[in-house]
């Protein structure tokens, strides 16, 4: 069934395509040119001609706006990305330019265009942006509340990839202490972001390790490992639809509310419908804007994770 109210936004950037955000945001002229070209290509749909395809406005009406996924301003991200200390302010200025040009287009076309961002979490990433300044230019903020820990920590210790709350006993220090959903949300609120614009991310995949060291408790949480566990697409990551079929004992941490499984060799941290239900209740209780997922193809055939996410509306 067609949904006439469905809005489709195109995401720009991401982990592998954020190389030049810093460079093009550095000067006003290049920032304006970047935004103009994006609107021309994706909203006005003036596609380049290639092998008989393309043309002026041939795909107009598909996209209702943009989601800016700059990973990440100032630092972190891929080592091939461009970075600069001025990214903190330029991230805001880039969003101002997108909003300015989209509003002008909205006036001309007598319709609304949306602007959102996907942002990293953790104190290190939040302090490299200005939530109190860019909030007014956005319809909402997709907070990527996952990938807190994973296979890049190849030898462990095994840990949660999307825990709701902080565990005071976890073997982490510094900024990693605040790598959890609740601390991320509170950091954004403290930075000036309205609760109603905060949308919490739910991973439809897990992070895992193999050859995990023996633990007297038997659950192998916070233990050393040999390497990331094997995955369908890459080591250390696997879809929920695969993980739920594994023969492994499942545990749910009483403090963090995160699930993990252990089969005597592999440790996997992921969300199931019960964990998502807890997060949905948190979102509703806190008065947040909602939930989003990455990504739908990781769900099982019955869509059980997506169904659990709808609990936030009840």
Domain tally for the chain?
1
Q: Following DSSP, what letter does each residue of 159-185 receive, concatenated?
A: --SS-SS--TTSS--GGGGG-SHHHHH
pLDDT of residue 312: 61
pLDDT of residue 255: 98
Give the global pTM. Answer: 0.95
Task: Tell me whether residue 109 is in a domain.
Answer: yes
Task: Tell me whether residue 240 is in a domain.
Answer: no
Q: Report the largest interatomic distance among the alpha carbons of the chain, rounded to a whole angstrom.
A: 67
pLDDT of residue 303: 97
pLDDT of residue 306: 96
**Cα-Cα-Cα-Cα dihedral sign, residues 169, 172, 174, 178:** negative
Give CA–CA dist 258/261, Å, rounded. Answer: 10
pLDDT of residue 123: 84
pLDDT of residue 60: 85
pLDDT tens-place string over residues 109-143: 999 999 999 999 988 999 999 999 999 999 999 99
Q: Which of 180, 176, 154, 175 is nearest to 165 (CA)?
A: 180
The residue segments making up the domain with residue 136 are: 9-203+272-313
pLDDT beneath 70, residues of the chain: 1, 312-314
Task: Tell me whether residue 128 is in a domain.
Answer: yes
Q: Following DSSP, what letter does each residue of 117-141 receive, concatenated?
A: EEE--SHHHHTTS-HHHHGGG-SEE
pLDDT of residue 313: 58
Cβ neighbours around 112 below 10 Å, total: 12
Task: Tell me whether residue 64 is in a domain.
Answer: yes
Task: Tell me whether residue 259 is in a domain.
Answer: no
Q: Which of 211, 148, 214 is nearest to 182 (CA)?
A: 148
Task: Tell me whether residue 96 is in a domain.
Answer: yes
CATH of the domain at 82: 3.20.20.80
Beta strand 140-143 pairing with 198-203: parallel
Task: Tell me whether residue 244 is in a domain.
Answer: no
3-state percent helix, strand, coil for the chain, nearest multiple of 5: 35, 20, 45
pLDDT of residue 52: 73
- Show which residues are catalytic: 71
Task: Tell me whether residue 34 is in a domain.
Answer: yes
Q: Collapsing DSSP states into helix, strand and coil, what is residue 227?
A: strand
Buried b (16+ CB within 10 A) or exposed e, 243-263: bbeeebebbebeebbbbbbbe
Q: Which residues pair with 69 in a beta bridge?
A: 13
């Amino acid at each position: 069934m067609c949904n006439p109210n469905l809005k489709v936004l195109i995401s720009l950037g991401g982990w592998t395509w954020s190389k030049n955000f810093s460079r093009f945001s550095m000067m006003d002229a290049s920032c304006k040119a970047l935004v103009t070209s994006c609107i021309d290509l994706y909203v006005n749909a003036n596609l380049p001609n290639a092998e008989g395809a393309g043309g002026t406005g041939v795909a107009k009406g598909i996209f209702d706006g943009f989601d800016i996924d700059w990973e990440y301003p100032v630092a972190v991200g891929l080592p091939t990305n461009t970075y600069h200390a001025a990214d903190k302010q330029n991230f805001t200025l880039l969003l101002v330019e997108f909003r300015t040009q989209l509003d002008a287009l909205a006036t001309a076309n007598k319709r609304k265009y949306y602007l959102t961002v996907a942002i990293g979490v953790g104190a290190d990433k939040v302090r490299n942006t200005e939530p109190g300044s860019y909030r007014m230019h956005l319809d909402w903020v997709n907070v990527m509340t996952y990938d807190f820990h994973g296979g890049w920590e190849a030898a462990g210790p095994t840990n949660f990839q999307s825990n709701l709350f902080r565990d005071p006993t976890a073997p982490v220090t510094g900024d990693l202490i605040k790598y959890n959903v609740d601390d991320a949300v509170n950091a954004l609120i403290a930075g000036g972001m309205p609760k109603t614009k905060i949308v919490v991310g739910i991973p439809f995949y897990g992070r895992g390790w193999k050859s995990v060291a023996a633990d007297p408790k038997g659950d192998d949480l916070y233990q050393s490992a040999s390497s990331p566990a094997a995955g369908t697409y890459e080591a250390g990551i696997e879809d929920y639809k695969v993980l739920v079929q594994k023969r492994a004992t499942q545990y749910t941490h009483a403090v963090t509310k995160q699930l993990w499984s252990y089969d005597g060799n592999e440790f996997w941290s992921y969300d199931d419908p019960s964990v998502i239900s807890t997060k949905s209740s948190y979102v509703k209780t806190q008065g947040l804007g909602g939930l989003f997922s990455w990504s739908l193809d990781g769900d099982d055939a019955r869509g059980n994770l997506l169904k659990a996410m709808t609990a936030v509306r009840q």
